[in-house]
Chain A
């Protein structure tokens, strides 16, 4: 793993974001709009029923956390799509850059995106709705790291599918993550789901993060069990998905699809 080549790709994306208004909009506009809408819903629910107060304050936190996962996924997938859109894959993979270094660069870009979006959302929630996401204290860190890892897993899966099936699968970059939303139990507990869906949800690391987060906010205790499950599942899935990515990459090289993916 060559750090210089990874930073070369990061520099390439930072040059791009520096002067691309639509891409900056993607970081600022949608998260802020989400926050405004959910902020008002939260305020309305809080006014309507005091007994729900603890639960409604959770909505804003859940929204910010979901956006962390979503942006982590987007950071990986969109960085790959940028190379397809600019017909740059041949330049990259005919250079000494390896598939692993390319993946590491997209993951690093995803961390930059998550950091930018999280800072904007956290401070906007504090400013507009007096909602302090940092009330979770240091327990916030493992939750956020697990959400980033869960986003990477979906992002790498999406990237592998696009690499294998070409640009016709591009729509998955925005859609696939939402397939996981119902079983991530972002805004409701796992117990709300039909019983047969419980094992499916509990096999999803994101569901453990959101269950754990509810535990911290509503019961003020750190749910170590959920954190343990989230971390373990993420580690296993990351290992599997990186293996799938490397396999897809070599299959695409064998079939000559790597350089044709954008055509």
Chain B
């Protein structure tokens, strides 16, 4: 089958026995999971559980020790460029060049991903994320909420098939966090986008995710819908499950 052409039921992401060791320390230990087209999967776990390392391997910036990552039916190690053209990410923990304006940063992103209609896409994303007032503002002058919107704009303007979101609402006030979540849900419904989502806000995870994967010490310890995971542990809610898993060290 030619690369990139998938049957309807094929997963967008297919991770098998993924492992990452840094010397003696195993950050990610033989995890396997799939993400279906249009599905949002929440990746949960306490600090150091292996979420960020998993993200970084999926984005091709950290090389796995063992296992395989297939996206769109292609192996990430062999078809990195073709895959990453269809993937993007946003994280509270990254930034963009401070001395460039919002529009300049988006323009550079458009060129990096080989987009042909950059101006149209910038206009769309600026409008959808209510960024008209900061379009020509220097990135160094943005508030944390505005910076989150910029990294999100950078991610969605390339019209990815899957979006990796690392705590996209961390450090945002409830109003902006609500707007970001509303935008993501609307965008997902309109585009059929798949998402892999991390957050330490359990209500947000329940609200955003179709399915949840719990990581602890690099291993998958639970997965399913939020209610399935809650029932599996016999707790009242996801937060209680999180506390139980996090404290079971």
Contacts and interface: CB of A to CB of B under 8 A. Distances in A.
B105 to A, nearest CB: 8
Contact of B107 (A11, A92, A254, A258): A11
Nearest to A259: B61
A4 B114 contact: yes
A43 interface: no
Nearest to A20: B99
Contacts of A255: 22
Contact of A91 (B53, B101, B154): B154
Contacts of A253: 61-63
Interface stretch (B90-98, B180-188, B221-229): B90-98
Name, among B63, B95, B108, the residue most crowded by chain A CB atoms within 10 Å (CB to CB).
B108
B96 A15 contact: no
B22 A8 contact: no
Contact of A16 (B82, B89, B100): B100
Contacts of A256: 20, 22, 53, 56, 62
Given A86-B95, A94-B84, A98-B81, A5 B154 contact: no
A86 B98 contact: yes
A86 B105 CA distance: 12
Nearest to B98: A86
B63 A90 contact: no
Interface string A11-53: 1100110011000000000000000000000000000000000
B113 interface: yes
A171 B15 CA distance: 41
A2 interface: yes
Nearest to A4: B114
Contact of B97 (A7, A12, A95, A96): A12
Contact of A2 (B59, B96, B109, B114): B114
- For chain B, the bracket of interface size reads 35 or more
Nearest to B158: A95
Contacts of A96: 80-82, 84-85, 112-114
A246 interface: no
Contacts of B85: 96
Contacts of A7: 111
B114 A91 contact: no
Interface string A131-174: 00000000000000000000000000000000000000000000
A88 interface: yes
Interface string B122-151: 000000000000000000000000000000
A90 B59 CA distance: 9
A205 B102 CA distance: 43
Interface in A240-261: 250, 253-256, 258-259
Classify the interface of chain B: helix, strand, loop or mixed.
Answer: mixed
Interface string A99-128: 000000000000000000000000000000
Contacts of B99: 15-16, 19-20, 86
A94 B53 CA distance: 13
Given A94-B61, A256-B56, A8 B108 contact: yes
A15 B100 contact: yes
B60 interface: yes
* Residue among A16, A20, A91 with the highest chain B CB neighbour number at 10 A: A91
B104 interface: yes
Given A86-B95, A88-B96, A93 B60 contact: yes
A98 B107 CA distance: 19
Contact of B112 (A8, A19, A250, A254): A8
B112 A92 contact: yes
Nearest to A2: B114
A85 to B, nearest CB: 8
Which residue of A2, A5, A15, A87 has the most chain B CB atoms within 10 A of its CB atom?
A15
A259 B154 contact: no
B115 to A, nearest CB: 9
Interface of B: 20, 22, 53, 56, 59-63, 80-82, 84-85, 87-89, 91, 94-101, 104, 107-114, 154
